């Protein structure tokens, strides 16, 4: 037996999955746990079909075989296969921590590379990453501008232009809502004009944090039109480009001290794992849909038509949709 396998303890794939999901439950929202369950379900199914009864026996060749099988089995796009194999890599890293697989096995998971054009079209911030970012910000940068901006985008799913347009007066802490208003005469427009105006309910936690941000860390300054922008800098209202760079920075794994592939360690260009504000919006919409919030409610809240939502924003996998439909049918 090789030294890498000397200290491994036998474990069946489905048992390892159960323990892994129990672990995820302790620090992730239910939607994230569901996503990991759906993705690892395929791996457990593959193990059963290929007589892999002990994860100790897994090899790099097995992982390559699984990758090819999963791509054919699900007829997956490269971006989807990348997401699924990334989850398997995380799963195997955790398995190594309980002596279920060799410490280096996760390094042999081949995650497909995706071209910049396809990445921009499809990249979506997943709920797991969003939760990790929020945990880090609430622990180390509570009520900071970074915390306020990211939390606002993730919880409400609003466009970055809508976030840019918000004033302090648009935050109603007592009623736990924000009011999105079209104000073209004083420098801020909504994408859909007055049709984009709406109140948006926010959680008690977000309302309290925004109140703390406004009273403690926000730059108390007016913009060129005499308005008090919610997201401000020392020069006035935060520019859209500044907000974009802020989101790139806080969504990079290296921001919270985690490994960041191909990271340059500088601010000259965004890290490869960072995502845009629009990807945060796409992830937020997908998160709400995964939590069984009705499509009509999500459409109104995010100010996006049903057709556009289905075509461009709903990134739930077919497996997630299937299980959600099954849940409804079970109640009939």
pLDDT tens digits for 215-256? 999 999 999 999 999 999 999 999 988 999 999 999 988 888
Separation between Cα atoms, residue 185 and residue 187, nearest integer Å: 6
pLDDT for 328 equals 53
CA distance 247 to 256: 13
Residue 185 above 80 pLDDT? yes
* Domains of the chain and CATH, by start: 13-115 (1.10.150.130), 127-278 (1.10.443.10)
The CA-CA-CA angle for residues 259, 263, 268, to 5°, reads: 140
pLDDT in tens, 123-180: 788 888 899 899 999 999 999 999 999 999 999 999 999 999 999 999 999 999 999 9
Band (82; pLDDT cuts 50, 70, 90): confident
Rounded to whole angstroms, the Cα distance separating 254 from 81 reads: 23
Q: Would you say residue 3 has pLDDT above 60?
A: no
pLDDT of residue 105: 94
**Whole-prediction pTM value?**
0.60
Which residues are paired to 179 by β-bridges? 199
């Amino acid at each position: 037996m090789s030294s890498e396998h000397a200290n491994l303890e036998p474990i069946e794939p489905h048992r390892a999955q159960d323990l892994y999901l129990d672990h995820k439950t302790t620090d992730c929202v239910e939607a994230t746990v569901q996503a990991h369950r759906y993705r690892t379900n395929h791996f457990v199914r593959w193990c059963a079909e290929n007589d892999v009864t002990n994860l100790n026996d897994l090899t790099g060749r097995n992982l390559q075989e699984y990758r090819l099988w999963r791509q054919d089995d699900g007829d997956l796009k490269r971006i989807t296969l990348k997401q699924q194999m990334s989850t398997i890599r995380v799963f195997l890293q955790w398995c190594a921590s309980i002596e279920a697989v060799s410490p280096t096995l996760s390094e042999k998971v081949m995650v497909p590379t995706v071209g910049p054009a396809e990445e921009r079209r499809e990249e979506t911030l997943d709920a797991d990453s969003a939760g990790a970012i929020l945990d880090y910000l609430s622990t180390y940068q509570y009520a900071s501008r970074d915390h306020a901006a990211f939390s606002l985008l993730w919880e409400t799913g609003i466009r970055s232009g809508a976030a840019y347009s918000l004033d302090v007066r648009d935050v109603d802490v007592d009623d736990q809502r924000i009011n999105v208003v079209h104000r073209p005469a004083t420098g801020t427009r909504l994408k859909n004009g007055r049709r984009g105006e709406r109140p948006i309910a926010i959680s008690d936690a977000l309302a309290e944090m925004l109140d703390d941000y406004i009273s403690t860390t926000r730059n108390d300054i007016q913009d060129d039109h005499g308005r008090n922008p919610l997201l401000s800098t020392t020069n006035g209202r935060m520019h859209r480009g500044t907000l974009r760079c802020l989101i790139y920075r806080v969504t990079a794994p290296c921001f919270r001290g985690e490994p960041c592939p191909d990271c340059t360690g500088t601010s000259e260009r965004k890290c490869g794992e960072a995502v845009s504000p629009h990807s945060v919006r796409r992830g937020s919409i997908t998160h709400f849909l995964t939590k069984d919030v009705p499509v009509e409610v999500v459409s109104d809240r995010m100010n996006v038509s049903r057709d556009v939502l289905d075509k461009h924003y709903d990134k739930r996998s077919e497996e997630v949709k299937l299980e959600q439909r099954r849940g409804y049918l079970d109640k009939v």
